[in-house]
Amino acid sequence: MSAMLEVADLHAYYGKSHILHGVTFAVGEGEIVSLLGRNGVGRSTTIKTIMGQVRPHGSVRFRGREIAGLEPHEIAHLGLGYVPEERAIFPGLTVRQNLILGEKRAGRSGRWTMEDMFELFPRLAERVDTPGGVLSGGEQQMLTICRTLMGDPDLIMVDEPTEGLSPQMVERVGGLLRRIAERGVAILLVEQKLTIALEISKRLYVMGHGRIVFEGTPAGLRANAGVRKEWLEV
């Protein structure tokens, strides 16, 4: 079986600094896969490069098609969704307007409707006419995930969705990601901490210095204290 997203020998640069040194990994249909690592090892750069926001050197294949070199909006139309770490809520637009802009074309309904979003996260229904800028951090995180889902992606890349959230909220994000995967959407979860990654992932990758340094299952990572100590624990 060939994977849905295949990244092979991916390099990326910011100006002259070489950030990614040949990253290789894959995500299969409907899988939850985590990409872990400390700050500054290139996790966010990896998904920005896949999304076309950073210029890729190497190969990125999505459903067998080479997407390295395409424009971000073209990549989005192929079915890749991106939820950035900074959440990027449109502050002046209401919750509803934020969600509407998640749709790639007006009125085109995929596997998710706005009602689904409200069911997944009832707080959004209550605040539907509130400007996105005044939501709490947790609400913004939910909104940004839901907004990307409105575009009906087949794979979403979520960058540090639990950053700065309360433990209770972290659990809810984990639950939300699970429910998304149940509908057949693959997830590439980027995290610094192990918290939800160990619980919900099928497979994990650990990054260090712009490379993949570990690949395995949650059980495998639990058993491997050496990798955790060297590449994850602070």
Which residues here bind another protein, judged by CB under 8 A? 51, 53, 71-73, 76-77, 81-82, 84, 88, 90-93, 97, 100-102, 104, 106, 147-148, 151
SS3 call for 26: strand
152 vs 199, beta carbon nearer another protein: 152
Minimum distance, C-beta of residue 66 to another protein, in the bound complex (Å): 19
9 vs 74, beta carbon nearer another protein: 74
49 vs 221, beta carbon nearer another protein: 49
Minimum distance, C-beta of residue 191 to another protein, in the bound complex (Å): 19
Minimum distance, C-beta of residue 151 to another protein, in the bound complex (Å): 5
**CB-based contact 3:27 (threshold 8 Å):** yes
Minimum distance, C-beta of residue 88 to another protein, in the bound complex (Å): 4
d(CA 145, CA 156): 9
Helices (H), 51-136: 72-77, 95-102, 114-120, 122-126
Minimum distance, C-beta of residue 148 to another protein, in the bound complex (Å): 7
Query: Parallel, antiparallel, or unpaired: how do β-strands 203-208 and 211-216 relate?
Result: antiparallel
| Per-residue H/E/C for 175-214 | HHHHHHHHCCCEEEEEECCCHHHHHHCCEEEEEECCEEEE
**CB-based contact 199:174 (threshold 8 Å):** yes
**CB-based contact 137:165 (threshold 8 Å):** yes
Minimum distance, C-beta of residue 51 to another protein, in the bound complex (Å): 6
d(CA 231, CA 37): 6
124 vs 204, beta carbon nearer another protein: 124
148 vs 200, beta carbon nearer another protein: 148
82 vs 214, beta carbon nearer another protein: 82
